[in-house]
Amino acid sequence: MIAGLDVGGSKTLGVVLDPGGAVRATVRVPTAGDGGDALLASTVRALADLATAVGLAPSELEAVGIGIPGVVNTDDGTVRHAVNLGVNGDPLALAAHLTETAGVSAVVENDVNAATAGAAAMLGDVTDLALLSIGTGVAAGLVLGGTLRRGHRGAAGEIGHVSLDPAGPPCVCGQRGCLEAVVSGPAIARRWPVDGATGAATALVAAAERSDPRAVQVLDEVAGYLAAAVVLLALTVDPDVILLGGGVAEAGSPLLAAVRSALGRRVGPVPLLGPLDLPRRVRLVPDTVPVGAVGAARLARERLSHATA
Ligand SMILES: [Zn+2]
């Protein structure tokens, strides 16, 4: 049995996979996002809950894989920056801490990469896949030739900071009009403020479905920028499938329909792009399993099998 954790800004989702890769247990615990020590404690707690759910001690698990939104050193399992979790100083030795306190081997991965590996496993017959994760941050994960592609400096797929509109809103990175500055959850919430639990993107598509003219306009713009990101990914690595994931994609099929329609308008008339059939190749990330946690577990299993081979 191997565990996977997907550490998000507010919640941590966990799974246990059996040797055949089937999900045997899932847990969901709040993430303590106020600094390194709190984060370590909530991660240890999630792991303990998972082990209990399958009647094991944490040390009896084969390993644990952890996906975390931040800059990760996959070699030593440290997290350098995870700003939304209050980690932004000395590297946090997440893998070493879990091994020390829970007696289990741990592998740490960037959360978008983990989700991409999980989605690729779910889709099965796809060897080249891009997952455009649209949440607080925006980035793409890439599985190419069946292998997760991190890049030379770990920056493969960091297209959230490609500037699409030099006159657009300022981005946290210092540029203007980055993809992240126009389609992230906070960017949508600035244009479509909501109170309470419903995400801004979900509220926006609901208002657009009621034909609220301003919502229709904002959704068209967001979908247009997402269509531009899909074209960018298609023309860079031409994956079989481009998945939309992350918190914004929880707005679901109305958002997908808007992106497909924006793609049709954008690329349909272009002889180079029309035949690429992009509207059909864009899909929502599978929601039958938590792909981030599943991917983290599978990457940990892969790493261990290489280490012992
Ligand atoms: Zn930026």
Q: How far is the CA of 163 from the centre of ligand 1 (A)?
A: 7
Q: Are 67 and 107 in contact (CB under 8 A)?
A: no
Torsion angle defined by CA atoms of residues 235, 223, 117 and 34, in that order, rounded to the nearest 10 degrees: 130
Residue 281 has pLDDT above 70, yes or no: yes
Q: How far is the CA of 193 from the centre of ligand 1 (A)?
A: 21
Distance (Å, whole) CA 13 – CA 7: 7
Residue 196 has pLDDT above 80, yes or no: no
Q: How far is the CA of 182 from the centre of ligand 1 (A)?
A: 10
Distance (Å, whole) CA 102 – CA 110: 21
Q: How far is the CA of 300 from the centre of ligand 1 (A)?
A: 31
Q: How far is the CA of 12 from the centre of ligand 1 (A)?
A: 26
Q: How far is the CA of 116 from the centre of ligand 1 (A)?
A: 22
Q: How far is the CA of 152 from the centre of ligand 1 (A)?
A: 20
Q: How far is the CA of 286 from the centre of ligand 1 (A)?
A: 28
Instruction: Determine the average pLDDT of the residues in 157-170.
Output: 95
Q: What is the pTM of this model?
A: 0.94
Burial 8-24 (b: 16+ CB within 10 A, else e): bbeebbbbbbeeeeebe
Average pLDDT, the chain: 94
Q: How far is the CA of 276 from the centre of ligand 1 (A)?
A: 28
Distance (Å, whole) CA 126 – CA 119: 10
Q: How far is the CA of 142 from the centre of ligand 1 (A)?
A: 20
Q: How far is the CA of 150 from the centre of ligand 1 (A)?
A: 19
Q: How far is the CA of 281 from the centre of ligand 1 (A)?
A: 26
What pLDDT, in 10s, does the model give residues 197-253? 778 999 999 999 999 999 999 999 999 999 999 999 999 999 999 999 999 999 999
Say which DSSP state 152 is in.
T
